[in-house]
Structure 1
Amino acid sequence: MWRSLLFTPTLKERFVEKAASRGADAIILDLEASIAAERKGEARQALPEAVDKLAADVAVTVRINPLWLDAIRDLEACVLPGVQAVHMALCENVAHVHAVDGIISELEEKRGLPVGEIKLVAMIESAAALVRASDIAQASPRLIGMTLGVEDYATSMGVSATPDLLRSAVFHLNQAARAADIASFGVPVSMADYQETRTLEAEARYARTLGTTGGYAVHPAQVAILNAVFEPTAEEIAWATEVLAGAKEAQKHAEGVFKVRGQMIDQPLVIRAERIMATVSRL
């Protein structure tokens, strides 16, 4: 799964031209916050060309507007070959996921695309949505991840986006995501302060200890930080390699528990090692 996802305004041609070279695992072509209301139609018209420019070099995803009318117009524009996922801004409930899922299915079928190929990421951006996160996470087979819209969430709570507030929210988001076996892109820091790279790194590392698997970037300077934080370390890879070798040997002797570096290893730790190596294989 993606370590870093870089927002790219669809109408900023020079940003689109350079997006694939920024090092992000995925690009988010934005039809929502970075596009003024009077230019939404223009952005939708520009989207196919932007996808064509990027899809051969990087994973391309699209952020759509909240339901209903703008979202439907966005989906009509972005259900295209080369688009891997749709980010649902202000996803509030299971009905929202079902509606977007159904529209995408209809468009895929109508356009001769494999039904179910385009995935979904739910952007949890309110207190009400966070309460429903567990249900949202399991609402559709298309759903591959969730994230926390930190500023909108804090506003819905009536306070500013402090670490105490956001860390708690990311924990609940991650628990819902992991229970559904999907990714979490929740990092407890505002992306707006893109020059605060030390803060981003610290909070991303903290989020990783809670189960976060990647994060969003609004500036290329944030991409390298996210990639470094969310890829397995050399020490983790070495540990996982030893554990899997030990598991193979233990299986030969019908042993359920074995030792690695003085640590007792059983099935949960073997699974953890397998996941680390699966992540490495995708990088």
Structure 2
Amino acid sequence: MQTRVMKTIRLLSLILVAVAAPLAAAQTASQGPTRVIPDYTIGPADELAVTVSSPVPQPIYSAKNYRVQNDGTILLPGLDAPIKVAGLTVQQAREAIRKALIDARQFENPIVDITVTDYRASSVNVQGAVRNPGKIPLRADRMTLSDAIAGAGGLQTNAGSRIYVTGPNRPKPEPEARIEDGREVFSKQDLVDGKLPDARVYDDDMVFVEVAPHFYVTGYVKNSQSEYNWEPGMTLQRAIAMAGGATSEGALNRVEINRKDPKTGGYKKVKLNKDNMATPIEPEDVIKVPKKRM
């Protein structure tokens, strides 16, 4: 009789284990998709779904979410002391929890499963011409380059034409990707125009928004602003247009361009092209629109 009861208990235990696993999966699924990062190192503020079961008749911990505290620990039911999991991979954390449960005599041979449901320890570092540079928590299943820059407050008015992205967890770039000094390069204009919907960022990525060099327009132009962002392909015609164009008193036929000498640091007058307005403008150029002669 006792043997039959023990067999029944063991059978019920196995049924409970079989039921607990899909319930845990359903609970995790209800929270949305989770990302799987190979060899991910757990950190403070990560959220872990922990399920503990056993092949012998013992209580089962169904999937429950635990937020890793600032000191890197979580506290499981039945344990007197918290378990340090920060700095461990998921596999190492499983072993640490398993050992703690055995040492506390909660289980003889526990089966521990951990799923990271919220990677709050992951981040992207956004620097350069953004309003709030710094680390942005990587919380979404698919964070895009646009999301990361928005998280840093958006682009500054002095943002240049290029955005550089690099990181240890990035996949191999596509053949058509633009690479400079080992960094992927994206166009700011493409970002602004919404042409980079699939440009993703990953844990520990460094995003650097180029700070645009400047040129200056002075004299008889409509805008009082004198400093403007320089971009590749800038011409005299476009530069003056950015300054609002010449006033009615401005003499476009006598425009001057003064260019900084990299050796001396002084400025020298530039000889204009035959088509004056097509003359290329370089960073730090100073354009002067004089007054018309009487």
For the superposition of Structure 1 and Structure 2, which TM-score range results when normalised by the shorter chain?
Answer: under 0.3
Task: Report which of the two structures shows the higher radius of gyration computed on alpha carbons.
Answer: 2
Structure (1 or 2) with the greater strand fraction = 2
TM-score normalised to structure 1 length: 0.24
TM-score normalised to structure 2 length: 0.24
Structure (1 or 2) with the greater helix fraction = 1
Higher relative contact order (CA 8 A, sep 6+): 1
